[in-house]
Amino acid sequence: MDWLSNVGSIVLVALGIGGVIFLHECGHFFAARWCGVRVECFSLGFGPKLFGWKRGPTTYQLALLPLGGYVKMAGEEGSADGRPAPDELPSKSVGQRFLIYSGGVIANVLTGLIVFPILFAYGVPFQEPVVGGVTPGGPAWNAGIETGSTIVRVNDRKITKFGDIATEVALGSPEHAEVEYLDPNGARHVVGLVPAYDEGMGAYTLGLAPGYDRQGKISVEPNSAAARAGLAEGDRLVAVESGVPGLTTLEALRLLNAESAPVKGTFEREGRSFEATIALEEDPAPAPARLGIQPVASRVVALRANPTVQALGLAKDDRLLAVNGRPIRLEHDLVRALAGAQERVRLEFLRGDEPKSAETGPLDAAAALRFARDVAVSFDTESTRVSVLAGSPAALAGVLDGDRIVQIDGAEPKAWEDVRAAIQKKKEGTLPLVVEREEAGAKRFVELTATLAPGHSRSYGFGPQAAMYVYQVSGPVEAVKEGWLASWTFLEEGWLTLKRIANRQVSGDNIGGIITIGVVSKKFADSGIVSLLFFLCMLSMNLAFLNVLPIPVLDGGHLLFLLIEKVKGSPVSEKVLGYSQMVGIVLILSLMVYVTFNDVMRWIVN
């Protein structure tokens, strides 16, 4: 029945977005009628008419392209003899025309001012502002914000949902963000952070990931390894066997996933505990051809104050080689190696090209885990040393963990990006390699040939549910205050987004068009009618903001010309108006092409 649910959500989305556009055009329509202007056409969509009817002087229609709508008023394109009739737009005063052109924006703002309070009084499902992960080496990690913390405030903004955190940081100062939070034990902290620019997100961030259900509830994919192991939607994950004392269940899951190991867990359903083992399974759908290698995860990108760190003398940009003889090549190798340390800990690493080693006394499980958490290790993309996926084309060709690729397809790579580019360029067939390998303290070069093969994504088929809650205010007065604040906030965010894009604090790639609106509104619809209505109110406020921008052909452009007319005492000349309309059309078409390209890259190509 999944397809039926999807159809229902899609219908709700279409009706919802159509409703926002309808209300906007109703604002123009009723303002025009109130001012005595004859309306010739009321259209939802552009282009050829699909169907419609005529009532009085007005044709009501649904058009082919669902990218907006319009209200065509008598005399809007000028009168044949230059003398407008009393019921035509040019015959009206500047104030009346100003009201007519701002009618759509007023309708959209009123929608937010009325519906937002109702939703907050009823209760809106939001993702809790709980931290589910902290990027090692990121601003939040450096400040000591832990997984499980609750973000209360960022700068002067009260945080009610997790998305507020990213928005406030991206649209705020890139030099400072003040964060108030409750740690997992409930203690309150206030810290000042310097946001870091994330190339992938195209914005400044704190390096925080959203949290998961506090009860440990999981989602299970149909026909997956987890489903076949007997797990069901809503089961609770109680514990995971990882072999590393002190890890949280989520940390243990990430560790096992990185090692491609089965998950042996304890689950709970309706108060009854049971155990299950879930292995990683490949998705049958092939991915692009791959070699099956990745850069070694050994580069120290950041350090936090820690007695063991100080004792070993580690520094930023050191490259870890081994702990007690165990190689460090994967993301979780450090925590695994430390968990197995029985006596003194001997660390081998590179500082630049110089091999170094250091020792410290025995660490108990808590101290070992604290040390691993205070050393942020990331992929060494400046090197061509690799770790190899088991069973991959590289492994079958004889590439070993720790090999350094010195030649690939006839080229000599300088960094990991060169290796990746060579694989992408080849796409299929055989790929000649030369690797540098260290054996018994000596280096030698090995010539190999790998055959690229389609990759497959792998998963357990289950994961933790998002941390959700219902945000509800008490009393009508609080609901109105919260709703009006939300309306103003979304208008303000529209302006700040344009400002941050202009000064390159936010990437223009974050702008989306009709495809993004459809995809996002479908997700809200899947969460329920209240969530969808909340999103539609957001959309309504954004539509109000965009339409008030002083761009010719938009409502804001007409309003600008009316202000000029009021100041100078006469309308803008036909020549100026004509040229400005052409510029406006070019700008709008260019924007549509740009956001559609972003949509295609975001939702189809990537």
Residues paired with residue 349 on neighbouring β-strands, in sequence order: 320, 356
Are the beta carbons of 371 and 338 closer than 8 angstroms? yes
Are the beta carbons of 237 and 249 closer than 8 angstroms? yes
Q: How many Å apart are CA 454 and CA 448, to the nearest integer?
A: 19
Is residue 251 annotated as a catalytic residue, yes or no?
no
- Find tokens 């998950």 and name the residue: 263
Question: Strand, helix or coil at 419?
Answer: helix
Q: How many Å apart are CA 288 and CA 536, to the nearest integer?
A: 37
Q: Report the sign of the C-alpha dihedral through residues 86, 87, 88, 94, in that order.
A: positive
Q: How many Å apart are CA 458 and CA 463, to the nearest integer?
A: 13
Q: Phi first, then psi: what are they for 111, rounded to 5°?
A: -60, -45
The residue count of the chain comes to 606
Question: Strand, helix or coil at 420?
Answer: helix
Q: How many Å apart are CA 212 and CA 188, to the nearest integer?
A: 21
Are the beta carbons of 101 and 562 closer than 8 angstroms? yes
Are the beta carbons of 513 and 603 closer than 8 angstroms? no
Given 25, 168, 251, 493, the catalytic residue: 25
Task: For the chain, state the CA radius of gyration.
Answer: 30
3-state SS string for 40-90: EEEEEEEEEEEEEEEECCEEEEEEEEEEEEEEEECCCCCCCCCCCCCCCHH
Cβ atoms within 10 Å of 573's Cβ, excluding its own? 9
Please give the torsion angle defined by the CA atoms of residues 194, 198, 204 and 209, in that order, rounded to the nearest 10 degrees.
-90
CA 394, distance to chain mean position in Å, is: 33
Please give the torsion angle defined by the CA atoms of residues 186, 187, 191 and 196, in that order, rounded to the nearest 10 degrees.
-30
Q: For the chain, what is the total number of helices (H) and then of strands (E)?
A: 16, 32
Q: How many Å apart are CA 216 and CA 234, to the nearest integer?
A: 9
Q: How many Å apart are CA 499 and CA 494, to the nearest integer?
A: 9
Question: Strand, helix or coil at 379?
Answer: strand
Specify burial of residue 530 (Cβ count, 10 A radius: 0-12, 13-18, 19+): middle
- Find tokens 């080229």 and name the residue: 411
Structure tokens at 207: 């390096």
Q: How many Å apart are CA 461 and CA 219, to the nearest integer?
A: 8
Specify burial of residue 574 (Cβ count, 10 A radius: 0-12, 13-18, 19+): exposed
Residues noted as catalytic: 25
